[in-house]
Amino acid sequence: MLKDDLPKIRPETRLKVLFAVGGDGELSEPLEVGALSCDSVEQVKEKILNAFKAKFGFPYNTPLRDIHIGQFQDKRVPDRATVKVLSRKTHPPLSPQGSLKDDEDFSGKYFHLIDPDVDEDQRKNPERKKLKLKEVHLTKLLSTKVAVHSFVENLFRCIWGTPHCRAPLAVKYFFDFLDAQADSMKITDPDVLHIWKTNSLPLRFWVNILKNPQFVFDIQKTPQLDSCLTVIAQAFMDSFSLSETQLGKHAPTNKLLYAKDIPKFKQEVKAYYKQIRDQPPITDSEFKEFLQEESKKHENEFNESVALRELYKFIQRYFTEIKEKLNLNGAPSEMMEQLQHVKNSFDELKSCSWN
């Protein structure tokens, strides 16, 4: 291809874009957006919206069809032109389209995606039709699963992995607490401990994050993404299950997708729990130091008065039960005195305002 044959393209044009942010016509601060003279109106609109989302995030995402650019009427826009972006109040009218029946070449013959004889057979046997559609659907899902499988595996192994063969201090401390509770209650069934740990961390915390990534990331969860995340979250939950799932022709599709991977994941989960249990225990001083470091990281992010008020509500409601449990467990008398002192201090402040 010769250089002289290339179309002459004008350098990029910089647009000064103003967004309507109030009902009374208030405008936002201007954003600079690059556009080419050969861009269509839709392309310029898309570039403007991408610049807007990059600055303000997905919570302010607006569909392209709902945006009207009031001043952009021609593709040839001068450099540093001002563009005003407004939200449409009504949807544009549908373009008229003639019926196919008005076409003289239109035929009234009906066409089938499958042979009419097969269709008649499936009408008599609806269960066979249902299975056939499910098999076609499963094939497409499997091809999609292959494309994302490495990412899903890496995600799962990051969750139940132990960097440098050492679990986070909070996880180790809590799992040791559950082990100690099982010993004190003389529970020797390992499945009980497995269920305790699974219900306390993976199912209570991680599944919620897997199904709702918008809690952590600035993204928009569409219905299509939600259905995909539900399948991945189900595979995650099955990896921690102790029961063996019997899969047949009526099994849910999401169970069939990861049927071959679940046994391998289950072995990794058991190894994860065993590795944490085999780690050296954490001393109280180490854990106290860890909590102090975490508190310093977030010292300006919490309201201490609100936290103290919620603790007081809990102590006031369950004070008798807490004292009974402490007596049954042989708690030191100093701890009982400290608890009583805390309650008395709260009672004195009960009639005062919390600052």
Range with the poorest average pLDDT among 67-71, 260-264, 309-313 = 67-71
Range with the poorest average pLDDT among 4-13, 43-52, 199-208, 260-269 = 4-13
Same domain, 55 and 144: no
Q: What is the number of other CB atoms lying within 10 angstroms of the CB of residue 319?
A: 13
Residue 262 lies in a domain: yes
* Calpha distance 252→234 (Å, rounded): 11
Residue 21 lies in a domain: yes
Same domain, 134 and 211: yes
Same domain, 58 and 163: no
Q: What is the band of 72 on the pLDDT scale with cuts at 50, 70, 90?
A: very low
The mean pLDDT value for 274-282 works out to 93
The mean pLDDT value for 24-46 works out to 73
Residue 222 lies in a domain: yes
Choose among 156, 140, 155: nearest CA to 253.
140
Provide the mean pLDDT of the chain. 77
Residue 18 lies in a domain: yes
Cα-Cα-Cα-Cα dihedral of 332, 335, 340, 342, to 10°? 180
List beta partners, residue 87: 67
- Hey, what are 146's tokens? 């292959």
What domain count does the chain have? 3
Q: What is the band of 118 on the pLDDT scale with cuts at 50, 70, 90?
A: low
Read off the pLDDT of residues 196-243 as tens digits, 9 standing for 90 and up.
999 999 999 999 999 999 998 888 888 889 988 999 999 999 999 998
The mean pLDDT value for 129-139 works out to 61
Same domain, 196 and 251: yes
Residue 107 lies in a domain: no
Q: What is the band of 87 on the pLDDT scale with cuts at 50, 70, 90?
A: low
* Calpha distance 49→72 (Å, rounded): 14
Per-residue pLDDT, 156? 95
246 Cβ contact list (under 8 Å, min separation 6)? none
Per-residue pLDDT, 309? 85
Report pTM: 0.57
Range with the poorest average pLDDT among 9-18, 127-136, 242-251, 275-284 = 127-136
12, 81 contact by CB (below 8 A): no
The enclosing domain of 179 has a CATH number of 1.10.506.10
DSSP state of 60: G
254, 244 contact by CB (below 8 A): no
Same domain, 154 and 236: yes
Where among 87, 114, 141 does a domain terminate? 87
Choose among 173, 241, 182: nearest CA to 207.
241
Same domain, 227 and 276: yes
Residue 165 lies in a domain: yes
Range of the structural domain that residue 316 is part of: 303-355
Same domain, 202 and 150: yes
Looking at per-residue confidence, does 116 or 249 come out higher?
Answer: 249
- Hey, what are 161's tokens? 């992995």
The mean pLDDT value for 89-110 works out to 51
Per-residue pLDDT, 126? 58
Same domain, 153 and 209: yes
What percent of the chain lies above the pLDDT cut of 90?
29
272, 160 contact by CB (below 8 A): yes
Residue 71 lies in a domain: yes
The mean pLDDT value for 279-292 works out to 91
Where among 56, 87, 118 does a domain terminate? 87
SS3 content of the chain, % helix, strand, coil (to 5): 60, 5, 35
pLDDT surpasses 60 at 68: no
The enclosing domain of 69 has a CATH number of 3.10.20.90
Same domain, 182 and 223: yes
Query: What one-character-per-residue DSSP string does 9-34 give?
Result: -PPPEEEEEEEB-STT--B---EEEE
What is the layout of strands, in order, in the sheet containing 67-69? 31-35, 13-19, 82-87, 67-69
Torsion angles phi and psi, residue 207, rounded to 5: -65, -35
Where among 285, 320, 335 does a domain terminate? 285
Range with the poorest average pLDDT among 145-159, 264-278, 296-310 = 296-310
Per-residue pLDDT, 242? 92
Per-residue pLDDT, 301? 78
Residue 294 lies in a domain: no
Same domain, 317 and 262: no
Q: How far is CA 161 from CA 156, 173, 241, 256, in A?
A: 8, 16, 18, 25
* Calpha distance 125→119 (Å, rounded): 10
Beta-strand relationship, 82-87 and 13-19: parallel
Same domain, 177 and 280: yes
List beta partners, residue 84: 18
Same domain, 68 and 31: yes
